[in-house]
Chains A and B, each alone.
Chain A
Amino acid sequence: MSVVTNTTTIGAIDAPSRRNTELMLMVFAIAISVFAYANVGLALDGKLPSGMFGYGAGLILLGGVAHLIVRKFARYADPLLLPLATLLNGLGLVLIWRLDQSPRLIRRAEILYGVFTPSAPRQLMYSAIGVALFVGVLLLLKDHRILQRYTYISMVVALFLLILPMFFPAKFGARIWINIAGFSIQPGEFAKIIIAVFFAGYLMVKRDALALASRRFMGLYLPRGRDLGPILVIWALSILILVFETDLGTSLLFFGLFVIMLYVATERTSWIVFGLLMSAAGAVGVATFEQHVKSRVNAWQDPFACFSTDTSGACEQIGNAIMSFGSGGTLGSGWGQGHSDLIGFAANADFVLATVGDELGLAGMMAVLLLYGLIVERGIRTALAARDPFGKLLAIGLSGAFAIQVFVVAGGVMGLIPLTGMTMPFLAAGGSSVIANWALIGILIRISDTARRPAPTPAPSTDAEMTQVVRP
């Protein structure tokens, strides 16, 4: 399968670039965020927050640069992805800033660490780095298919990133951070993108072999070991590493990513069956043997049990998060007026959604979930529109991973599934998460730009007049 750009039917339709739509949406996204910021200030202190103009200017600068770069270097990109990411990032900054103002969290930090450091300025810095990376992706990655060349390098890098945290001390029961020069980085967030690149590259090459050269076994088609082997090994390795690091959310994410991409590549439903069986077995196995997981499963089953027994406090957080959602009710308690800070640890990170639930209510929660849903939808649409299998696989891998991450985090915080520590993309405080997700959006935008770019006009042919077909 050689590089083909203009043989599909989609490209023939001259799609409008939609850059002005994107600009309007960007203005909207930034305006909402600035308004939210003002709202928190008014609710907490009765006056506009002093940093509001700096914050607004920063957001306009970041959003503006991102938009201009897209306008210049990815003209045909999907117009929704960038404003959606900007809006979530902007709202996340307001939520984090709002939690920075919580006297309860300040007191808690002072008791535990002796000093309180606000997270919002850092988050703004990380967002800037994220947007810089986004810009970098668009500038350097002229065509997403270049990534295909790095299939095996990606594999090595992903494994390296996953193994790295083992050499650093565990924090909060999980070994997923590395500390460099005062910054802690979660390599798993980046590994998510890189391993998607590897899966896409490998599956694109092997998909025919995987789909066709298989034996029927108990009604399922099993591919040959030499085709499936390598990818299975890499996948199993990463899951093992993650389980060893007790990073369960990410291992679930990798598993889902793998199953989705394999299914899309081979078009064989049996992979879904396999995937579900294996994940069920894995989940039960891990939940039985791993103490960390066991306590979380217990907390999920009865989020209020440990309030009375007061043993590990494992469920206190999830119980408090659930009560935050309850207290928000339909319309929410209003920016800055909830008590989601009762959750304490990780209130602005893994549990940031509880603050949305408390202060913006059911209405706000539905809006935020739909924003995520839209990002996923635009990602899948990009995969559908992509003209090359690599682009399709990469786009579906990234959007599938994004969807699973949103589901695992939000479902965990809302008590739908057992909690596994992961960050809410864009919304939660956390450098790696914001930066990696901006890169992810960058890659999706690049693929969508390639997908929607009108096919170049065919080279003028000498006998064009005579052979031209009248188009409808």
Chain B
Amino acid sequence: MNKPLRRIAIFCGVLIFALLARTNYLQYVKADELNTRDENRRVRIERYAHERGNIIVDGKSITGSKETEDSDFKYKRVWKNGPMWAPVTGYSSQAFDASQLEKIEDGILTGNDDQLFFNRTMSMFTGDDKQGGNIVTTLNGAAQKAAFEGLGKKKGAVAAIDPRTGAILALASTPSYDPSTFAGNSKSDSEAWQALLKDKDKPMQNRALRETYPPGSTFKVVTAAAALENGLYTDIDDATDSPLPWRLPQSRNDLKNEGNIPCKNASLREALRWSCNTVFGKISDDLGNEKMIEEADKFGFNKEIFTPVRTVASIYPEDNRPQNAMAGIGQASNRTTPLQMAMVAAAVANDGKLMQPYMVAERKAPNLDVIYTHEKEELSRPLSGENAQKLQEMMETVVEKGTGTRAQIPGVTVGGKTGTAQHGLNNSEKPYAWFISYAKTDNGSPVAVAVVVEDSDASRGDISGGGLAAPIAKAVMKAVIDSEK
């Protein structure tokens, strides 16, 4: 009977060998793949096992980490003044992933990024706990506070940038949300998340970067730039060829102005001061769709911008003549993000140079070594220096004695443009109140800002860019100038 016994022995050996081969395959060959699977909860356990790096504003951290109870995720993210900073930071939740800066800079914040490899290796030897790196932002706390508090209970957004560098100084969006409420993975976190998703005011929408609005009259700055750049008019004080009433091309409708304002053959300066639809509609039509698109593109329209947080593309579309004329005054299919309009103001303020907007100034390793510094970068040059200065004069006139007087700051030169964008079918809904502006000091222009108020308690007649949006812009500019000193 020994012969079959030996064969059985071989069979049993094969069984054991199969198990050995399998364990080698799983634990050696496949280990890396298994350890990075989405289903693998260890990945997230490890991720939350250490304190996350912080996001820094004005040298102070606006985020933190809190130890959680009753969960295998040891730390959760907390935000200081979450609703105010949410449009900048985004969220990072144990249960619902992350967004915006928290997501894009996740590698640095968790300490897993390849750039931190050396750091990680060192702390392996020194036995230090793993730590995340920090993200130093360009934001200005005072400006952000002014923007957020200025918007208050109104629905809207503010974007402010430093025209000289492109550094983003403020990004506010209201109504906002507190990412701390759903940073964990408990039941209450889940309820908070669901409530936010269902909220019809869309508090998690980043209106400063991800929402497009018709820009209304603020777009006339771009139209004016197009007129100057294309040589349609050269002197801003010369009369333009603008009949009143002016009939829209291929149409039986006259383009109307808001109220009875002196727009017939008005100079560019006066037309911007009074916000003449007829003058700028005709300029857009005279230049044609192609040239208008070209100029809008130079200001950053029609492409996504990465700050590094993605900003949706603002659209100046290819269109027929009457639509193009309407787009020239910021209506029709012309749509833009608040950041885009801040870029328009910034390009004008910076003598025609548009800088690439950014909000990450530095990435720092856990040991505070700087591993990345943003170099300012020119995005495009929508205006010549000469034309930019002409446009500045025009915008300054608007603030000095036009529709934007509420943005005046004593002792500071301010240029701006109001806008009241129609919205809804046949202008049926409350219009959007816009204001874009910049401030100038001896040291160039430190701030350009765009404000949009989507909705407020103000009655329809009281809604105007100058009335609702300009004071917010003023507060933001003032905050920046004060902190410059």
A373-B13, A403-B12, A407-B18 known; A330-B27 Cβ under 8 A = yes
Report the Cα distance A369→B15, complex, angstroms: 10
The number of residues on chain B lying at the interface, defined by a beta carbon within 8 Å of a beta carbon of chain A, is: 38
Contact A365 B40 (CB under 8 A): no
Fill in one digit per residue for A313-344: 1 if any B CB lies within 8 Å of its CB, else 0. 00000011011011111100000000100100
Contact B35 A362 (CB under 8 A): no
Instruction: Report the nearest A residue to B40, measured CB to CB.
Output: A323
Determine how close the nearest CB of chain B comes to the CB of A325; give it in whole angstroms: 4
- Chain A residues with CB under 8 A of B19: 369, 406-407, 410-411, 414, 416
- Chain A residues with CB under 8 A of B32: 326
- Chain B residues with CB under 8 A of A407: 15-16, 18-19
Report the Cα distance A346→B178, complex, angstroms: 40
Contact A396 B8 (CB under 8 A): yes
Report the Cα distance A381→B15, complex, angstroms: 17
A319-B39, A411-B18 known; A325-B5 Cβ under 8 A = no
- Chain B residues with CB under 8 A of A377: 9, 12-13
Contact B18 A416 (CB under 8 A): yes
Contact A327 B1 (CB under 8 A): no
Determine how close the nearest CB of chain A comes to the CB of B150; give it in whole angstroms: 45
CB of B31 within 8 A of chain A?
Answer: yes
One of A57-65, A127-135, A183-191, A262-270 at the interface: A262-270
Instruction: Report the nearest B residue to A409, measured CB to CB.
Output: B19
Q: Which of B7, B20, B22 has the most CB of A within 10 A?
A: B22
Contact B9 A380 (CB under 8 A): yes
A264-B5, A384-B5, A411-B22 known; A326-B45 Cβ under 8 A = no
Determine how close the nearest CB of chain B comes to the CB of A13; give it in whole angstroms: 16
Report the Cα distance A436→B2, complex, angstroms: 27
Of the candidates B3, B16, B22, B30, the one whose C-beta lies within 8 Å of that of A376 is B16
Of the candidates B1, B3, B27, B41, the one whose C-beta lies within 8 Å of that of A326 is B27
Q: Which of A260, A265, A370 has the most CB of B within 10 A?
A: A260
Instruction: Report the nearest A residue to B6, measured CB to CB.
Output: A384
Fill in one digit per residue for B16-36: 1 if any A CB lies within 8 Å of its CB, else 0. 101110111011101111110
Contact A414 B45 (CB under 8 A): no
Contact A399 B12 (CB under 8 A): yes
Fill in one digit per residue for A411-429: 1 if any B CB lies within 8 Å of its CB, else 0. 1001110000000000000
Contact A339 B42 (CB under 8 A): yes
- Chain A residues with CB under 8 A of B8: 260, 263-264, 380, 396, 400
CB of A304 within 8 A of chain B?
Answer: yes
Of the candidates B22, B35, B38, the one whose C-beta lies within 8 Å of that of A327 is B35
Chain B residues touching A, majority SS: helix
Determine how close the nearest CB of chain B comes to the CB of A15; give it in whole angstroms: 18
Determine how close the nearest CB of chain A comes to the CB of B77; give it in whole angstroms: 22
Question: Which residues of A from 232 to 270 have beta carbons under 8 Å from B?
Answer: 260, 263-265, 267
Report the Cα distance A407→B19, complex, angstroms: 7
CB of A98 within 8 A of chain B?
Answer: no
Instruction: Report the nearest B residue to A362, measured CB to CB.
Output: B27
CB of B393 within 8 A of chain A?
Answer: no
Contact B35 A326 (CB under 8 A): yes
Contact B41 A342 (CB under 8 A): yes
Q: Which of B2, B13, B40 has the most CB of A within 10 A?
A: B40
Determine how close the nearest CB of chain A comes to the CB of B174; give it in whole angstroms: 36
- Chain B residues with CB under 8 A of A325: 23, 26-27, 31, 34
Of the candidates B9, B13, B16, B31, the one whose C-beta lies within 8 Å of that of A329 is B31
Contact A361 B27 (CB under 8 A): yes
Contact B27 A365 (CB under 8 A): yes
Total A-B residue pairs with C-beta atoms closer than 8 Å? 134
A319-B39, A339-B41 known; A373-B27 Cβ under 8 A = no
Instruction: Report the nearest B residue to A366, measured CB to CB.
Output: B20
Report the Cα distance A339→B46, complex, angstroms: 11
Instruction: Report the nearest B residue to A326, measured CB to CB.
Output: B34
Contact B5 A396 (CB under 8 A): yes
CB of B59 within 8 A of chain A?
Answer: no
Chain A residues touching B, majority SS: helix
CB of A345 within 8 A of chain B?
Answer: no
Report the Cα distance A60→B13, complex, angstroms: 32
Determine how close the nearest CB of chain B comes to the CB of A451; give it in whole angstroms: 12
CB of B377 within 8 A of chain A?
Answer: no
Of the candidates B15, B26, B37, the one whose C-beta lies within 8 Å of that of A304 is B37
Determine how close the nearest CB of chain A comes to the CB of B369; give it in whole angstroms: 30
CB of B290 within 8 A of chain A?
Answer: no
Contact A392 B27 (CB under 8 A): no
- Chain B residues with CB under 8 A of A329: 27-28, 31, 35
CB of B424 within 8 A of chain A?
Answer: no
Contact A414 B1 (CB under 8 A): no
Instruction: Report the nearest B residue to A365, measured CB to CB.
Output: B23
Of the candidates A307, A369, A392, A393, the one whose C-beta lies within 8 Å of that of B16 is A369
Report the Cα distance A400→B10, complex, angstroms: 11
- Chain A residues with CB under 8 A of B22: 411, 414-416
Contact B20 A322 (CB under 8 A): no
Contact B28 A400 (CB under 8 A): no
- Chain B residues with CB under 8 A of A384: 2, 5-6, 9
Instruction: Report the nearest A residue to B2, measured CB to CB.
Output: A384
Determine how close the nearest CB of chain A comes to the CB of B6; give it in whole angstroms: 8
Report the Cα distance A322→B33, complex, angstroms: 11
CB of B72 within 8 A of chain A?
Answer: yes
Report the Cα distance A152→B461, complex, angstroms: 102
Determine how close the nearest CB of chain B comes to the CB of A444; give it in whole angstroms: 14
Fill in one digit per residue for A346-374: 1 if any B CB lies within 8 Å of its CB, else 0. 00000000000100011001100110110
Contact A326 B23 (CB under 8 A): no
Contact B34 A339 (CB under 8 A): no
Determine how close the nearest CB of chain A comes to the CB of B29; give it in whole angstroms: 10
Contact A327 B40 (CB under 8 A): yes
CB of A299 within 8 A of chain B?
Answer: no
CB of B231 within 8 A of chain A?
Answer: no
CB of B259 within 8 A of chain A?
Answer: no
CB of A404 within 8 A of chain B?
Answer: yes
Contact A265 B16 (CB under 8 A): no
Contact B5 A392 (CB under 8 A): yes
Of the candidates B16, B38, B72, the one whose C-beta lies within 8 Å of that of A403 is B16
Report the Cα distance A267→B2, complex, angstroms: 9
CB of A389 within 8 A of chain B?
Answer: yes
- Chain A residues with CB under 8 A of B30: 326
Report the Cα distance A107→B15, complex, angstroms: 37
Determine how close the nearest CB of chain B comes to the CB of A105; give it in whole angstroms: 11
CB of A383 within 8 A of chain B?
Answer: yes
Contact A322 B12 (CB under 8 A): no
Instruction: Report the nearest B residue to A373, measured CB to CB.
Output: B16
Contact B26 A264 (CB under 8 A): no
Q: Which of A104, A323, A357, A361 has the most CB of B within 10 A?
A: A323
Report the Cα distance A103→B70, complex, angstroms: 9
Instruction: Report the nearest B residue to A400, measured CB to CB.
Output: B8
Report the Cα distance A319→B40, complex, angstroms: 9
- Chain B residues with CB under 8 A of A263: 4, 7-8
Determine how close the nearest CB of chain A comes to the CB of B409; give it in whole angstroms: 56
Contact B42 A327 (CB under 8 A): yes
Contact A339 B1 (CB under 8 A): no
Contact B9 A414 (CB under 8 A): no
Contact B12 A264 (CB under 8 A): no
Question: Which residues of B from 188 to 231 have beta carbons under 8 Å from A?
Answer: none
Sample of 11 A–B contacts (CB below 8 Å) = A264-B5, A267-B4, A307-B38, A326-B35, A342-B42, A357-B27, A370-B20, A373-B12, A399-B12, A404-B15, A407-B19
Known: A326-B34, A369-B19, A377-B9. 17 other contacts (CB 8 A): A107-B70, A304-B37, A320-B41, A322-B26, A323-B39, A329-B31, A330-B27, A357-B26, A362-B28, A366-B20, A369-B16, A380-B12, A383-B5, A384-B6, A393-B1, A411-B18, A416-B18
A interface with B by C-beta (< 8 Å): 103-104, 107, 260, 263-265, 267, 304, 307, 319-320, 322-323, 325-330, 339, 342, 357, 361-362, 365-366, 369-370, 372-373, 376-377, 380, 383-384, 389, 392-393, 396, 399-400, 403-404, 406-407, 410-411, 414-416
5 closest cross-chain pairs (CB), A and B:
A326-B34, A362-B27, A373-B16, A307-B39, A403-B12
